[in-house]
Every structure is written in C-alpha cells, then in structure tokens.
Amino acid sequence: MNSFGTTAHQGTQGHNLQAALQRAGFYPLLVSDVVEDALDGRACLSHLVHLETHFDRTEVHRHITVLVLTEDMLVITHVDDQQLDDEGEQMVAQVSTESVPVSQIRSVVLSYVYSQPQNYKPSDPVRELTLSIAWSGGQRVDVGPAACGDPQCDADHGYTGTIAQEDIALRISAEADGLQAVQDAKSFARAVRAVNTSSAAPTDTEPHSLERGRFPSLSPKSSRGHHRR
C-alpha cells in the first residue's frame, strides 16, 4: 500500500486517503497510483475525495475528483470512465492531473444551503455545500434573461448575470453524499486556507522567496492539465 507520507501525522493522512479511495470504489488501485505519481513524493496533509455518478439514458457515467493538499502544492486528480461498446466490456479511463502551488491560490469559497432557515439552530446540519477554489483567474459566467417588476410585462429586457471566479468547484450534498462528506469538505477548505495564508507572507530573511522559485519545478508527468468542471 502506498504511504503518501513519512511522518506520523502525514502517514495517518496517507492512510486515510487510501481508505477514502477504497470506500469510493472507483478503480481504487488505478486512482491511488495516479495520485501518488502526481504527488512526486510529497506528503499528504489533507485530502478530499468526491465521486459523482450521472445517468444518460441507458448509460451510467462516473467520475472521481481527488484533491490532495501538501505543504506547498494543491494536487488535483480527475478520472472519468467511458464505455466503448454496448455490452460494457470495453472500458477506458481518462485521467488528468494538475499541480498548483498553494501561493498561487487566490480564493477559497464555501457556499452553503440550509433548509428552513427561519427555524435554524446551531446544531442544524448543512444541506449542501459547494467548494470553489480559484488560482488562474478563470471565471464562470451565469447569464439569464432580465426581467422587470411587472409580472404581466413581456418586453425584452436583455440579459443579466453573475461572474464567479473559480478553477474548480465541487458540490457536496448531505442527502447524496452524507453529512460526513460535507464536514470533510469544510475541513479541507480550512486546511487549504491555512496553508495558503502561511505561504502568502514572505519572511524578513527571504523577502522574495515566493517569486524566486520557492516551489520546485514540476516534472512533465505531473503537469498534465486538470479537467475542470
């Protein structure tokens, strides 16, 4: 079994990551090897494993996204499977990875959905959570028809929309994924914020450490583009 770490804390995180991949049940050996390859020997500090299943007529499509945080990198691995024949005997797995220096992360956004907010109590669980992380300046634009306050008006008011900055967004539902999955996403977001904040401030002795190659160059095998959704 891969360790994903060397010290006691890092080894525990690596063991937990392996267990999460096994629970997901989506080609765990393949995904584990791909993640370890993308880490390039870095130790896992925190992780988030998200499996999604989509139904398209008679076909079932699954894909998994694995986020692994190290001291200096956020490593994203995405794996899709595809059926090549009607019988489902010929399958292929499409894999992509991306490695992002934590100093380049610009924002970590958590969006929450609560049921019956008028009856909210501190013990109420989050119904749904979306984790969005931005690092390259990529933006998502949501556009829809604009309207006025008159419900009888059928005039064309053009369009209105919102712009959200994100490179990756994962939606975790307590109903579909379980309450623990929502808590795991919140914990991972806190870990990313903590590492990102500590890496953003250069020390007095190394005022230009962030600009002068603090992070090692990536080998070709770990610079593959991540499939963003």
Sequence-distant (6+) residues with CB within 8 A of 197 are: none
Beta bridge partners of 159: 145
Each residue of 189-217: pLDDT tens digit?
Answer: 999 999 988 876 554 444 433 333 333 33
pLDDT of residue 208: 39
Contact present, 77 and 63 (Cβ < 8 Å): no
Q: Is 78 exposed, middle or buried (0-12, 13-18, 19+ CB in 10 A)?
A: buried
222 pLDDT above the threshold of 50: no
pLDDT of residue 98: 94
pLDDT of residue 127: 94
pLDDT of residue 21: 95
Strand order from edge to edge, sheet including 59-69: 46-56, 59-69, 73-83, 91-101
pLDDT of residue 58: 65
pLDDT of residue 124: 93
CA distance readout (Å), 53 to 61, 81, 126: 6, 11, 21
Closest-CA residue to 184 (of 198, 172, 197, 196)? 172
Sequence-distant (6+) residues with CB within 8 A of 119 are: none
**What's the first-to-final CA gap in the chain, in angstroms?**
30
Q: What is the value of pTM for the model shown?
A: 0.71
Each residue of 48-82: pLDDT tens digit?
Answer: 999 987 776 666 678 999 999 999 999 999 999 88
Q: Is 46 exposed, middle or buried (0-12, 13-18, 19+ CB in 10 A)?
A: buried
Closest-CA residue to 78 (of 100, 56, 62, 54)? 62
CA 157/CA 205 separation, integer angstroms: 57
pLDDT of residue 119: 95
